[in-house]
Structure 1
Amino acid sequence: MVSAIIVAGGKGKRMGTVQSKQYINLNGKPILYYTIKNFLKNDLIDKVILVVPSNEIEYCKRKILEPNLLKIDKIVAGGKERYDSVYNGLIEAQGSEIVLIHDGVRPFASEKIIEDAIKHAKMYGAAAPGVTPKDTIKIKDEDNFSSHTPKRSKLVAVQTPQAFRFDMIYDCHKKIREKGVLITDDTMVVEYFGNKVYLYEGEYNNIKITTPEDLIIAEYLVSK
């Protein structure tokens, strides 16, 4: 069984809105609608689990899921930190062979990206899509001076969905919670315990909507 966990716990701080960013409309539909739809329509996904803040569960059901006929398998409450939310989703995904973990505000994950995630997770245990940064990246020192410039060809801007063999990611998430290590990404969880993550080709369209500028791009992509 292949499960997808969509983590939608973001707020609107960088977006400059009171409303949580996953509920902002794109062409008349909330961002989260497009995200969920991509996984529901994929035949390789057996189970879709949505994780939202506990105080938004009823709102999400009444305003996002029911009006748009989005029949997911489970909606669960998130936790204080992102890794708490992912762990709550993993509990509901028990029994899966492969699990995909995806950002709720990444509404343009293509069918190919999703299917490649599953394929590579089965082959390597852990996989994530990524793209080469378009800009030159600098490493700065503590005084804000450039210390060196890594080769752009060696750099990858990692996206989601990130896919894992369920037993690996569940075990690593349990252990990292006990250690109290701060992580910002699920690939970091498995890497912390010595597992390698296969990086496959992502897509520049697979953007994460975080700022007002991202919304402009997203409106264009939706119109296409």
Structure 2
Amino acid sequence: MTTASHQKIAIIVAGGSGQRMGTSLPKQFLELAGKPVLQHTIMAFYHAYEDMRVVLVLPDAHRGYAEKAMRLSEHFPQLTVIAGGETRFHSVKNGLATIAGPSVVFVHDGVRPLVSTALINRCYEAALQHGSAIPAIDLKDSIREVHADGNVAADRSRFKIIQTPQTFLSEVLLPAFDLPYDPLFTDEATVVERLGHKVHLVAGEERNLKITRPEDLVIAGALLD
């Protein structure tokens, strides 16, 4: 399989609110090292590959604010902005509707601004080879499995924490998103698995954190410093 035949497309899903951050401003627009969190995220993909195309999926209610606060068309003239859907599944599906032709598709959380070029490269190469690439990191804490009648220790080496960008060949991902929506679809990997594909795990990164609480923003700022 030749890399030249596949476009590189990042679908960045930014549908979060400020509820868990305790702010009225959605978390993707909070300031991190002088720029909105979402701006760091978008820039990471443009820095990784010069021929990257980025599709930003935003709720309609946030599109005007994003354009005004981030000056999207000024900073990212090649960026495509589309409306999100009722769930993550529907938002990603809206993003996938913009794809024509064979592509390597990165689906990434808008609030993971510290994704590295190395991780994006690793996902790209693995997706070309295996059809998919799902970043994963080890659990550090002990875990227990809870049952109706109690709980039991579980072997943490058998589990992974999953990150984004979840990366796929378009010929794998697009047909999967033609499936009817199921609430059990928690991420793109679960959708692809429903169609019968196995997903390939790659090494994620501890610093590729998802900003959901105030302390995450502090940690991200320290890592950038």
TM-score computed with the length of structure 2 as normaliser: 0.92
Matched, 1:153 2:142: no
Q: 1:176 to 1:123 in 2, by over 3 A?
A: farther
- Aligned residue among 137, 160, 167 for 2:143: 137
Match status 1:99 vs 2:99: no
Give the letter for the 2:193 counterpart.
Answer: E
Task: State the 1:44 CA deviation.
Answer: 5.8
Give unpaired runs (5+ residues) of structure 2: 1-6
Shift of 1:66: 3.6
Q: CA deviation at 1:88?
A: 0.3
Instruction: Report the CA distance between 1:67 and its aligned residue.
Output: 8.2
Deviation at 1:212, TM superposition (A): 1.4
Moved more, 159-168 or 91-100: 91-100
Q: SS of 2:177's equivalent?
A: helix
In structure 2, how many angstroms separate the alpha carbons of the residues matched to 1:159 and 1:175? 23
In the other structure, the counterpart of 1:30 is 36
1:61 maps to amino acid: E
Does residue 1:216 correspond to 2:218, yes or no?
yes
2:170 alignment counterpart:
166
Which stretches of structure 1, 4 residues or more, deviate above 4 A after TM superposition?
none
The question of 1:125 aligning with 2:131 is answered: yes
Secondary structure of 2:64's match? helix
Code of the aligned partner of 2:58:
V
Take 1:80 and 1:203, find their aligned partners in 2: how far apart are those partners? 29
Percent of counterpart pairs with the same letter? 38
d(CA) in 2 for partners of 1:164 and 1:45?
17
Match of 2:4 in 1: none
| TM-score, scaled relative to structure 1 | 0.92
| Number of the residue aligned with 1:183 | 185
* 1:8 maps to which of 14, 17, 20: 14
**DSSP 3-state at the match of 1:41:** helix
What is the aligned partner in structure 2 of residue 199 from structure 1?
201
The CA distance in 1 between the partners of 2:109 and 2:100, in whole Å, is 20
**One-letter amino acid matched to 2:218:** I
Deviation at residue 110 of structure 1 after TM alignment = 0.5
Name 1:49's counterpart in structure 2. Answer: 55
Distance 1:65 1:142 in 2: 51
Q: What whole-Å deviation, never above 9, does each CA across 1:72-96 have from its counterpart, x for those lacking one?
A: 4310000011111000000012324
Letter in 2 for 1:146: N
Q: Does 2:64 correspond to 1:62? A: no
Question: Retained in 1: the 8 A contact 2:33–2:221?
Answer: yes
Structure 1 unmatched runs, 5+: none
Whether contact under 8 Å (2:11, 2:107) holds in the other structure is yes
CA contact 2:20–2:212 (8 Å) conserved in 1: yes
Q: How many residues align structurally?
A: 219
* Distance in 2, Cα, partners of 1:5 & 1:65: 19
SS of structure 1 residue aligned to 2:202: strand
Q: 1:80 — aligned with what? A: 86
Q: 1:72 to 1:59 in 2, by over 3 A?
A: farther
